Amino acid sequence: MDNLIYLGVKMETPAWSKHPLQDSQLTSSKLITDTPLLLNMSDNNIKARINRAVDDKETLWIQIERPLNEITISSGWISTNSEGVKKVSCWDWFDFKQIKENASLKEIYLSAKKTLSRNKDNASLEQYPPTIKETLTLLDQQYSANSPKYAMITTDSFKGLIDKPVLASALSRILINYESEWYGKVDSEGKLPKWEALNSEMTENANNVLNYLTKGDEAKLDAYINTLETSKQQSVKKGIEELKRKIDRFPKDYKSNPKQKLTQGQIEIHEKVQKLEQKVMDWEKSKEKIKKMLWWDDVAKGLAKLNQTNGTQPENTNTTDTKATPTDATPPAALSADGKAWFIHPLAMVSYFNEEINLIRNYTLENAELALRAIYEKYGKDMAIIIERMYRSETAHFKSLQYKKTGTGGMESFGYPPYYGWDKEFFLLNPNYTQLYSYRNYTFI
């Protein structure tokens, strides 16, 4: 139901000669849903007699509790025959909003960061890319119209939807077309440009301060100071210059044994420098991990090769296939060459198709083996190997409830900040995470 008008009725209605629920009253009602509302007619709460009524024209009315723009809950009745009401099945994809996001990774990062400063003078959503804008549009509705609060891209803002299922459901039905994090092009220097673009946000300040403290680069110090508020620049610069003078007094060979060759005060300064170095190193290591984890191209090429072998052509390519494909044939699998895909909330999909989730039984090794066997039988040995390696490397250490119950990995924190996955070095250092099963167990020929 979209932009639905409904009626409010007093809790205690005296005896009446005319049914208190009338379609004609809807034209004057001020109760309007501005966020689409999906009602499951088989829901026990909706089926309850207290929440259902039939008027003198045999029209079914349903009582709902609907959050308005204010934070309060407004109870009212909707007519199943009124304008704005539509019967849908799960295959109608009711109110799924599609967003094609073209903003760069850095633009998305900066936009999310920018939301942290939202206030009454800086609340406009027009300054954000589509994904951030749509997310904030929904998050903002958890606050009353007169509230001084504005949603941000933070955990707390999302937690605010826990007791507002209408908004949470709308958020889960956003479909975003964007470049996968598992796709990337390496440049002539062996780097990933879209991740290198984040250097300025991750480590540029630390790098500039470090270059001044260790090499005396005045330009780097000025570059850092210029990022600060004007009122703080002078005091911060004096503090860093004083720190540099103290470092210059360190013994020349102090690095061979800092604890013995430095005073306690000098050791504390040395540790500060080490923290800066570690921050820069962590980011560099993270980018190397990201580069090693890119699998999109391998899978895309593997599928293209498989389709070529089978004489089929994916629909999203520009190559013309002269062979006629039977209308009942399974469409060939494919991944886009540019790394773009539609992202959808997996658990929301389970709920949308009204499937019951067994919260007691976990996703098991047997489930994974069956899935891998299906891939092998449908796409062949090479693809099964690629999928198994990809899935194993992505989920080896996952502990989230989402992974335990559904087998969908997502992304979890691991390694050095900003916690972006891992590479084969992790498995070499942690032999306890060795393979539990392998495609080799299936006697592939």
Secondary structure, 3-state, 390-418: HHHHHHCCCCCHHHHHHCCCCCCCCCCCC
User: In this predicted model, which residue has the larger pLDDT, 305 or 349?
Assistant: 305
Task: Answer yes or no: is pLDDT of 7 > 50.
Answer: no
Answer whether 201's CB lies under 8 Å from 360's CB: no
79: buried, middle or exposed (CB in 10 Å: 19+, 13-18, 0-12)? buried
In terms of phi and psi (left: phi > 0; alpha: psi -120 to 50; beta: otherwise), the region of 315 is: alpha
Question: What's the mean pLDDT in 128-156?
Answer: 91
Amino acid, res. 43: D
Residue 367 CB partners (closer than 8 Å, separation 6+): 407
H or E segment to which residue 80 belongs? none
Confidence of residue 340 (pLDDT cuts 50, 70, 90): very high
Alpha-carbon distance of 109 to 304, in angstroms, equals 33
Pairing of strands 5-6, 73-79: unpaired
Q: Which tokens go with 43?
A: 């829901």
Answer whether 304's CB lies under 8 Å from 316's CB: no
Alpha-carbon distance of 213 to 197, in angstroms, equals 25
For 141-203, where are the alpha helices, taking DSSP H only? 155-159, 165-172, 193-196, 199-202
Confidence of residue 118 (pLDDT cuts 50, 70, 90): very high
Using DSSP's 3-state secondary structure scheme, residue 164 falls into coil
Model pLDDT, residue 357: 46
Taking Cα atoms as reference points, which of 335, 306, 304, 339 lies closest to residue 319? 304
User: In this predicted model, which residue has the larger pLDDT, 441 or 77?
Assistant: 77
Confidence of residue 422 (pLDDT cuts 50, 70, 90): very low
User: In this predicted model, which residue has the larger pLDDT, 252 or 33?
Assistant: 252
- Give buried/exposed letters for 165-202 (b at 16+ CB in 10 A, else e): ebbbbbbbbbebebbbbbbbeeeeeeebebbeebeeeb
Task: Answer yes or no: is pLDDT of 342 > 80.
Answer: yes
Write the pLDDT tens digit of every residue in 312-327.
665 554 444 444 444 5
Model pLDDT, residue 222: 96
Model pLDDT, residue 314: 58
Most confident residue range from 1-15, 177-191, 327-341, 407-421 = 177-191
Answer whether 340's CB lies under 8 Å from 180's CB: yes
Model pLDDT, residue 433: 47
Model pLDDT, residue 135: 95
Model pLDDT, residue 438: 31
Amino acid, res. 349: M
Taking Cα atoms as reference points, which of 203, 174, 192 lies closest to residue 101? 174
Task: Answer yes or no: is pLDDT of 290 > 60.
Answer: yes
Least confident interval from 181-185, 216-220, 238-242 = 181-185
Report pTM: 0.64
Question: What's the mean pLDDT in 341-357?
Answer: 68
Question: What's the mean pLDDT in 119-144?
Answer: 92
Model pLDDT, residue 134: 95
Eight-state DSSP code of residue 320:
-
Alpha-carbon distance of 160 to 142, in angstroms, equals 7
Model pLDDT, residue 137: 93
Task: Answer yes or no: is pLDDT of 395 > 60.
Answer: yes
Q: What is the mean pLDDT of the chain?
A: 77
Task: Answer yes or no: is pLDDT of 183 > 50.
Answer: yes
DSSP 31-65: EE-SS-----TT-HHHHSGGGEEE-TT--EEEEEE
Least confident interval from 162-171, 205-214, 310-319 = 310-319
Answer whether 280's CB lies under 8 Å from 210's CB: yes
Does residue 130 have a cis bond before it (omega within 30 degrees)?
no
Task: Answer yes or no: is pLDDT of 6 > 50.
Answer: no
Q: Which tokens go with 211?
A: 């270059």
